[in-house]
Structure 1
């Protein structure tokens, strides 16, 4: 979006700027009307999920799940037991 704005501000036509970037003018219109216009809205764009675990969080979960008391339990049973354990402390 910022590249298109810059090109138009420097005298380029919006249609030509879109063509150079490989997007249609309709795509630009959709991006402008969306909630997050700076995010690439194309289907093949690579995005990072907002709720993706950090490496430290992932390691903490694995460490907890491998503790002897939780080793044979599914996550649906580990979470309530951890909550109960933490509330007693």
Structure 2
């Protein structure tokens, strides 16, 4: 069924921006911390090897995120009064 394929893809292959581009499966298994640390080291090495490209910008955050939701209250648009 298509929904089974979608759920599998969404949880095991799709890298979510809100999770700092790891999959939900990586996040729930705890693999995200290792992956994000590897990315941080690679970015810091790239910055060190070519500082002119980076300027004074810091390397992006690469720590695991805390609790997340799909649709938090503050993200929901306000309903217009009729």
- Give the greater-gyration-radius structure (CA): 1
Higher relative contact order (CA 8 A, sep 6+): 2
TM-score normalised by structure 2 residue count? 0.27
What's the TM-score once normalised by structure 1's chain length?
Answer: 0.26
